[in-house]
Structure 1
């Protein structure tokens, strides 16, 4: 499979030209990126453990949250170890097979994130607009099927997109990014890329149109309930939807930054600004979501506190176990 990739592209490696000489700041950048990665892994993993270990959180809403945190761990792992290696390296090259593997990981992360946020909006719509029928309309089995829908179609779409890019004949190997990007590889193609462009357009339309339609439908109904209901209903809807809306807007802004940088000339911008814009959707969202949901959802907040307190009480300087009251 690896040899087939190399022969089909006629490129053994790609050079990432967006990196610049950081000099004595190399170690500082490494520490910052490493700290961000550790923070992302610990925060998302903590919430996954809290949701999985507490039976009171085995509800559809928390199942979708768990899927969201797993996806953020997946996307971060596809980026941060690679960035750490590149920061310490003096030659910023990546093998063709690994480059396409990274494209697959990062693009599936983005697609799954959009679908996950859309399903969460639909779940909030049912909880707010049909509270009495929520348990019958959103059963655990239906939630599991929705999680499958969140993950399987994006993986299939991105797999086809990546395979189409692998089959291209390339006339260069220079990518002006700090990580591998499918659109940058398509621009390196020697021949007509109509098939790639058409499929990418269809895939992008499905990735954006379906989630946006579901989110728009859900929040239109939620707003109707807010305006027609009592003050208590409005406050409950706002407190329930605030973390989701903030997470959705944050991720959407990051994707917009990525699209603008990919499609338009940003050579006049400083390198550090271009790198920040390209990494925003891959770094800020995995940091942002655990904070928003961990602080705003009382059940998760209380469970996290009890878990952390129990861990502290189990450890004394003498190493003895303290019996919890």
Structure 2
């Protein structure tokens, strides 16, 4: 797998080089952030698992959403915490590919789960009489598995193509490994044609996911306009989903636009901020948004806190 890149054993990550005088502060803030992400996501997951009243498609999808948030952040935070304590910021070649796989599959899985969530809300509001037959446990299991496995296989294909490239540099000017940046280190641009084609096909596939989400909510909004009951259901269950979608799209779009069109003259601190937004805001805000907005989750968590304090 790595015979063409045998001369590259390590990558040097230079994203932290200009901020090492603040390493103690950054380490403390990053550790606090990661602990909070784990706490709020685990709280939502445990609340859903323990309460049989929440063993419904909407809550199971939310559980999968939070699990995916833990998966993606675990691919980033432990490594960056280690780098903040280390004088040299390096990662092995294989470790870099694995990290890139985790980052990209996490982002694509998030969008896939959001698409399934939008379909669930479409069926619940626009076709309520057939909801339980359409969103059966078997179909839900298939959709969740598809949301996880398909991105993993697609991104795995991109990473495999990257592993075949002969690289002529070991330096990555970021906090973590990104497949597109690794591809740019290839000795010959001609060797990256297949990588670029597959990358654009991947982007197109997930743009269609976004189009499907928009299509679903166009129908949902049409159905809710003239129905007080549906408007209440929309505000209770769809607004958290749309808020999560907004934060996810905005943060990921910032990073993608920077990778593709960003200027190297930007301050490193700003580059770092743009790069980690999708690993910071959505994993924190998603469980908080759903936890406060969905009554069952809020009551279950508050009940658990009260029982522990008594």
Bigger Cα displacement from structure 2, 245-254 vs 11-20: 11-20
Measure how far apart 1:217 and its partner are.
1.7
**Residue 268 of structure 2: which of 261, 268, 271 is its match?**
271
Alignment partner of 1:22: what SS? Answer: helix
Measure how far apart 1:133 and its partner are.
2.2
* Unaligned 5+ runs, structure 1: 314-325
Matched residue pairs, number?
A: 308
Measure how far apart 1:149 and its partner are.
1.1
What RMSD over aligned residues (CA atoms) do the two structures have, in Å? 1.3
Q: Which whole-Å CA distance do the structure 1 matches of 2:129 and 2:159 have between them?
A: 45
**Residue 223 of structure 1: which of 213, 221, 224 is its match?**
221
Measure how far apart 1:24 and its partner are.
4.4
Q: Which whole-Å CA distance do the structure 1 matches of 2:257 and 2:6 have between them?
A: 27
Name the residue aligned to 2:64: 67
Asked if the contact 1:103–1:180 (Cα under 8 Å) also holds between the matched residues in 2, the reply is: yes
Asked if the contact 1:6–1:96 (Cα under 8 Å) also holds between the matched residues in 2, the reply is: no
Alignment partner of 2:177: what SS? Answer: coil
Asked if the contact 1:266–1:274 (Cα under 8 Å) also holds between the matched residues in 2, the reply is: no
Measure how far apart 1:261 and its partner are.
1.2
Asked if the contact 1:9–1:168 (Cα under 8 Å) also holds between the matched residues in 2, the reply is: no
* Unaligned 5+ runs, structure 2: none
Name the residue aligned to 2:125: 128
Name the residue aligned to 1:140: 137
With a CA cutoff of 8 Å and minimum separation of 6, indicate the structure with the bigger relative contact order.
2
**Residue 163 of structure 1: which of 160, 165, 177 is its match?**
160
Matches within 5 A, 1:25-36: 25-36=22-33
**Residue 56 of structure 1: which of 53, 68, 86 is its match?**
53
Determine which structure has more spread, i.e. the larger CA radius of gyration.
1
Measure how far apart 1:297 and its partner are.
0.2
Q: Which whole-Å CA distance do the structure 2 matches of 1:301 and 1:104 have between them?
A: 34
1:235-289: CA deviations, max 9, x gaps? 3212321100000010000111111110123323222111010100111110010
Q: Which whole-Å CA distance do the structure 2 matches of 1:9 and 1:46 have between them?
A: 44
Q: Provide closer, same or farther for how the CA distance between residues 145 and 187 of structure 1 changes in structure 2, counting only shifts above 3 A.
A: same
Name the residue aligned to 2:194: 195
**Residue 173 of structure 1: which of 157, 170, 182 is its match?**
170
Q: Which whole-Å CA distance do the structure 1 matches of 2:25 and 2:82 have between them?
A: 14
Alignment partner of 2:76: what SS? Answer: helix
Name the residue aligned to 1:99: 96
Name the residue aligned to 1:8: 5
Alignment partner of 1:94: what SS? Answer: strand
Bigger Cα displacement from structure 2, 194-203 vs 134-143: 134-143
1:20-42: CA deviations, max 9, x gaps? 24354211100000000000001
Matching of residue 261 in structure 1 with residue 258 in structure 2: yes
Asked if the contact 2:20–2:84 (Cα under 8 Å) also holds between the matched residues in 1, the reply is: no
Bigger Cα displacement from structure 2, 171-180 vs 13-22: 13-22
